[in-house]
Amino acid sequence: MVQSRFLRLFGFFLFITTAASAQQDPEFTQFMFNKLYYNPAFAGVEGMTKFNLLVRSKWTGYATTFDGAGGAPNTQVFTMTSPIYKLKSGFGAYIINDNLGSLNNLSFQGSYAYHFAIKEAKLSVGVNLGFFSQSIDFTRYRPSDPSDPLIGSGKDTQVRFDMGGGVFYQAKKFYVSASVNHLASPSFNFGIDNLRNALQPTLYVMGGYYYEVSYNLTITPSLLVQSDFARTLINIGAVARYNDKFWGGITYKYQESAAVILGMSLLKSKALEIGYGFDYIVHNQDAKQPTSHEIRLGYALPVSSFGGKKVIRTPRFRH
């Protein structure tokens, strides 16, 4: 019954959405390993303190047609999450740097989530608060009309308050996530009265189902829908994990690209993870370079049985 409902939900989000293109926020191939970035309610859900670094180079080798300046977009995001056992909650934080040629976005967010136990599952409700900094280098623009009042001069940076919220439901066989980012709609004008560059609230819907093929092999199909209510991006994929040590999978970004994901756990405790994602553009190659690369490093601190509570390790979450 639960599996059937999840598959219907998966299909619903896949077929109702027709536009697919990245908007104001960056997208990641290994989205299923980067849940805190998408939803503050994920803070502490895994029951362990974990650090995650993800570096993405998009359209590698891209250069502008007029003078080669600008370069390809690149993004770095660092996240941490930790449970707060006494408060039945979790804390998290992330910092992300997203460079888009003449425009650079830098954001720092702190997250808090409260966890509700529902039989063998966990429902988490969370919020994140922080700052969003946007920097622009007008010297890298090549305007057709140099006297255009919307083209400034030099470099400028503005910092604004930002916030978001979400819910995350983790069960033994599946998870479902829904969140909204940029609820404060921070706006940037860089001193130009007629310029208003506001970040629109962005909806993220994510889900995954854990299918145990055998004792050592698990396959997890996943879905991510990202929308600013004007344009929508859909990611679907599946990752197979063997012996909780090696994994590999494929993803497809609707009307954009296909990707391969590989990874493995290191150290005796399997606490260190390394992953790699390779994207290949399959739609509209003329305006882009065909490949993107993504590297992820994750590390989980050793878990002690705090307060005499036994920690149970699973490939999905700990409780």
> Residue 270 is part of which domain span?
2-308
241 inside domain = yes
215 inside domain = yes
- Both tokens assigned to 258: 């296909």
282 inside domain = yes
The number of folded domains in the chain is 1
| Confidence category of residue 1, pLDDT binned at 50, 70, 90 | very low
114 inside domain = yes
317 inside domain = no
User: Which is nearest to 259 in space by CA: 275, 244, 246?
Assistant: 275
Residue recorded with tokens 């255009």:
148
CA distance 231 to 222: 21
pLDDT digits (tens, 9 = 90+) for 103-160: 899 999 999 999 999 988 999 999 999 999 999 887 777 777 777 766 767 788 999 9
203 inside domain = yes
318 inside domain = no
pLDDT digits (tens, 9 = 90+) for 178-223: 999 999 999 888 777 666 778 899 999 999 999 999 999 999 999 9
Q: Give the up-direction half-sphere exposure of residue 149: CA atoms within 13 A in the CB hemisphere.
A: 5
25 inside domain = yes
Residue recorded with tokens 């408060």:
87
Cβ-based neighbour number of residue 168 at 10 Å:
26
Q: What is the CATH number of the domain that holds 55?
A: 2.40.160.40
Judged by phi (left if over 0) then psi (alpha if -120 to 50, else beta), residue 178 lies in beta
Instruction: Give the per-residue pLDDT at 314.
Output: 52
CA distance 93 to 80: 5
Cβ-based neighbour number of residue 294 at 10 Å:
21
pLDDT digits (tens, 9 = 90+) for 9-59: 334 333 333 333 335 789 899 999 999 999 999 999 999 999 999 999 998
